[in-house]
Amino acid sequence: YEDVFSRNQRPKVDEYDDYLFVVLHFPRYDKTIGRLNAAELDVFIGPDYVITLPNSPLQPVSYLFERLESNEEFRDSLFSKGPAYLLYKIVDDSVDASFPMLAKIGNKLERIEDEIFEGRSSEVVRDISNAKQEIINFRKIVRPQRAALKDLEHHKRYVPENLDIYFDDINDASERVWDMLENFKEVVEGLESTNESVLSHRTNDVLRALTAFSVVVLPLTLVASIFGMNVKFPGEGTREMFWVILGVMVVTLVAMGAYFRRRGFL
């Protein structure tokens, strides 16, 4: 019973003389911190009983037991099929609860993709990081559980052969969840790479424009510096020389600006 009070149990299936002890983890969205966490469900299954001990509220399990309490016909139908079928129903409902969460992540990734190509790359950096964190947390919960679900099916003492098809369905659903997470992982990594490329391209455009501007201003600065030196030069102090210098600077500015614009640097 030490495993029940431990907070760091991995998903597993342990068989004892009189019962089967199962530890499973399911994703649960914690609204207080706004992120996905693992909710642990400890289950004892014996010849005629099933005991569930969640370490935090699991909506599918709570909803199932509410139905059992309020609907006598449903309760009699479910209990008549034995404890293994009740275990199947608990695990199946908990696994299926992952799909709406995955649908939300998928919608979030589609929205991020649209925003990237609508020119809001700088605004979606945080959204990409949040989506990536959700996918990582989801994978950390689901990955170790796949082996436990497969192991659960092989304990024929508590899972009769006529229920194999039901537990196969659970494993199929678990694999679909994992496949979707693998796909989301590739998508979010692709979006992150694409967004970084877009931001890098914009930065390069800014740097290129600043470089071109510096090159355009450099000759003007040079001319102004030469004529600003404390030495005598031809035409010094005349009105005509002022207009000549100003004309040279304007022509240089216009010529270089036109050249760089034609080359796409401005």
Domain boundaries, the chain: 2-202, 205-262
Which residue in 62, 99, 81, 1 sits closest to 23, CA to CA?
Answer: 1
pLDDT in tens, 61-109: 999 999 989 998 988 888 888 898 999 999 999 999 999 999 999 999 9
How far apart are the C-alpha atoms of 170 and 200, rounded to whole Å? Answer: 45
Where would I find the beta strands (DSSP E) of the chain?
Answer: 12-15, 20-30, 35-45, 50-54
pLDDT in tens, 128-176: 888 999 999 999 999 989 889 888 877 767 778 888 888 899 999 999 9
CATH architecture designation of domain 2-202: Up-down Bundle (1.20)
Residue position matching structure tokens 């005349």: 238
Task: State residue 249's pLDDT score.
Answer: 74
Question: What rounded mean pLDDT belongs to the chain?
Answer: 83
Task: State residue 58's pLDDT score.
Answer: 87
Cβ neighbours of residue 16 closer than 8 Å, sequence gap 6 or more: none
Task: State residue 226's pLDDT score.
Answer: 67
Q: How many CB atoms lie within 10 A of CB 213?
A: 15
3-state secondary structure 79-109: HCCCHHHHHHHHHHHHHHCHHHHHHHHHHHH
How far apart are the C-alpha atoms of 27 and 75, rounded to whole Å? Answer: 27
Its pTM stands at 0.74
pLDDT in tens, 193-234: 888 777 776 776 677 767 767 776 777 677 677 666 666 666
CA atoms within 13 A on the CB side of 32: 1
Across the beta sheet with 50-54, what order do the strands follow?
12-15, 20-30, 35-45, 50-54
Q: How many CB atoms lie within 10 A of CB 109?
A: 21
Using alpha carbons, list the distances in angstroms from residue 169 to 95, 164, 234: 10, 9, 96
Q: How many CB atoms lie within 10 A of CB 255?
A: 12
How far apart are the C-alpha atoms of 209 and 215, rounded to whole Å? Answer: 10
Which residue in 112, 184, 202, 104 sits closest to 142, CA to CA?
Answer: 184
Region of 42 (left: φ > 0; alpha: ψ -120 to 50; beta: rest) is beta
